[in-house]
Chains A and B, each alone.
Chain A
Amino acid sequence: MNRWFRFNQLWQLTKALFLEIIREPGVLFWGILFPILMSLGLGLAFTKKADVIRKVAIVSDIAKSSAPADTTLITEFLRKRCEKNITGEEDSWKWKYAIKDDKLGNSTFFFYDMEWDEAMKLLKRGTINVLIAGSDGSVEYHFDPMNSDAELTYLKLSNIIGKGTLLPEKSHTEIKPLTVKGTRYIDFLIPGLITMGVMSSCMWGISYGIIEKRSKKLLRRLVATPMKKSHFLIALITVRVAMNFIESFVLLIFSMFAFNLTVQGDIPALLAVFLAGNIAFAGIAVLVSSHTSNTEVGNGLINFVIFPMTVLSGIFFSYQNFPEWSINVIKGLPLTLMTDGVRSIVNEGAGYSEVALPVLILTLMGVTFFAAGLKVFKWH
């Protein structure tokens, strides 16, 4: 038998580590069902547009104005175009205005009559995001311009109040909702969920697995035998990559049926990006877990890797919204490289030539981190 390769040893290690995973009931839920539920929840939230409710505070000067001379747009709008709540219940809306729109979805505006201080309190809590005040015929919209939802409420309101519609009826402008595959939010989201799953699975499965085995003195016990150290790490990584493949495949198939997602590009190229991403994160995982035997320190180290990339790498929303100077740095993160690669194949129909560079970079990253991890790896 080859001194450097012992098949039975590698097979028994792989089998043991695989059984360790699949015999844990939580694995089925967190590894397979949870990503599906997350995609289902986010997919439904962003693909089937539900009625949007927008709550607006009207401060008392306008709301209580009953002078016939008060002809400001807002008082006229409230009196003439809105449905008034006649129940008179405290804390309930005072006026309601509903917009039916097949293309943009239905919106309902609830207007609350309140004092300035109370309105500010609700604004701080996020219950309302726009406050309308004013007197002597003037109308003031108060909202945080950095809050895009508040800005949208303002834009819709300012358009409705006066004209009564979001767009002039005989405008040359027409809204054509995009339904082309690859342009929907769900098409953007699913590749991100797959790559984020790979990252989390490698970091928790490999890093935490190693740290836990070190803390239980199992690593030390294993290396007190003629076990090949490389075989242990190969088995650990193989099992994790196999689990990642199963989890990602199930999520992809589910998305194809549930959201009509299609892989427009080259499947072997997709597999290449997937494998390269796994290599990169496996390498990072080995480096992160190379020294500590304290599981709490391990938690911190793993979160240190996972959290920034989850936020920055454009999993849920595009990273193009980050400051210009940071975009190139973000593009170089392993999760961004993998996610952009998978998205380009799934949504844009990319093939080998388009993803060759990210595949190469991810593989090199993995090998480099793995080598660095092995250099300082503590078995005892």
Chain B
Amino acid sequence: MQNENVIEVKDVWKSFKTVQAVRGVTLNIPKGKFIALLGPNGAGKTTMVEMIEGIQKPDKGEITIMGKKWKDNEDELHNLIGLSLQETRFIDKLRVTETLKLFASFFDLGEERVEEIISIVGLEEKKKAYNVNLSGGQRQRLAIGIALINNPSILLLDEPTTGLDPNARREVWDILKNLKEKSSTSMVLTTHYMEEAEYLCDYIVIMDNGVILKEGTLNQLLEGADGNPKTLDDLFVTLTGRMIYE
């Protein structure tokens, strides 16, 4: 990976009580690229993303976003990042438009941007609906809309399609694919769906037990692996001896 790196992770370690969640991860994310952190539950993907978001502090190592560390640069970095957390619930009795206006106000943005986002995530028909009345897929599209509201340079999505039915998942993918084509936003996406990583991302990082097992483009991963795996599923079995969803 050449290009200018928007995120640089250098030998990062993180543990919680007796669990070593991330062990010596080094990772560079170039501008405009979509990166998948792929791995089963407990692989350390969410902890890695939370450290990039600035929510968790690494025990050891260094993370820089656009060359800046979180310490002393919080306001500036919050303006550069858009994120969607796992299972966030917004205020139930707030309408879609009101929710977006609220988040837009944090970035000094107005109604025009709110309307743009509603159009980007395809929630025109639900703009007056209360959040509590949205389906799982619509809720996730709203979460992505909120993540995009500040036109972020870096988008962090933590398992954005977990728990969604295939149609809703496809709708989310379409939004992200469209974003990739039309903007220079860099994206880090955590997932345990192989097909999601394959479909959306330029570069795939396979993690398990807090370490990076292998990384590269889809072709690099498949061609360079022992046993000639045909899919990422096969590759994961080759690397770990088990299926990703076990």
Q: Which residues of A contact B (CB under 8 A)?
A: 1, 6, 8-9, 11-13, 15-17, 19-20, 23-24, 216-218, 220-222, 224-227, 380
Contacts and interface: CB of A to CB of B under 8 A. Distances in A.
A16 B107 contact: no
Contacts of B99: 16
25 contacts: A6-B108, A8-B108, A9-B105, A12-B102, A13-B105, A15-B98, A16-B91, A16-B94, A16-B98, A19-B94, A20-B92, A20-B94, A216-B88, A216-B89, A217-B86, A217-B87, A220-B55, A221-B146, A222-B106, A224-B55, A224-B78, A224-B85, A225-B78, A226-B106, A226-B107
Interface residues of B, number: 30
B106 A220 contact: no
Of A9, A11, A24, most buried by chain B (CB within 10 Å of CB) is A9
Contacts of B8: none
Contacts of B92: 20
Contacts of A1: 108
Contact of B102 (A13, A23, A226): A13
Nearest to B109: A8
A203 to B, nearest CB: 20
B93 A23 contact: yes
B107 A225 contact: yes
Closest 5 CB pairs of A and B: A23-B93, A12-B105, A216-B89, A225-B106, A227-B106
A23 B146 CA distance: 22
A132 B186 CA distance: 89
Contact of B93 (A24, A218, A220, A222): A24
Contacts of B85: 217, 220-221, 224
B173 interface: no
B108 A225 contact: no
B84 to A, nearest CB: 9
Contacts of B106: 9, 222, 225-227
A8 B114 CA distance: 15
Contacts of B102: 12-13, 16
Contacts of B107: 225-226
Contacts of A16: 91, 94, 98-99, 102
Interface in B81-125: 81, 83, 85-94, 98-99, 101-103, 105-108
Contacts of A224: 53-55, 78, 81, 83, 85
A217 B101 contact: no
Nearest to B132: A23
A19 B98 contact: yes
A217 B89 contact: yes
Given A20-B92, A218-B91, A221-B88, 16 more contacts: A6-B105, A9-B106, A16-B94, A16-B98, A19-B93, A20-B91, A20-B93, A20-B94, A23-B130, A24-B93, A217-B86, A217-B89, A218-B90, A220-B88, A221-B85, A227-B106
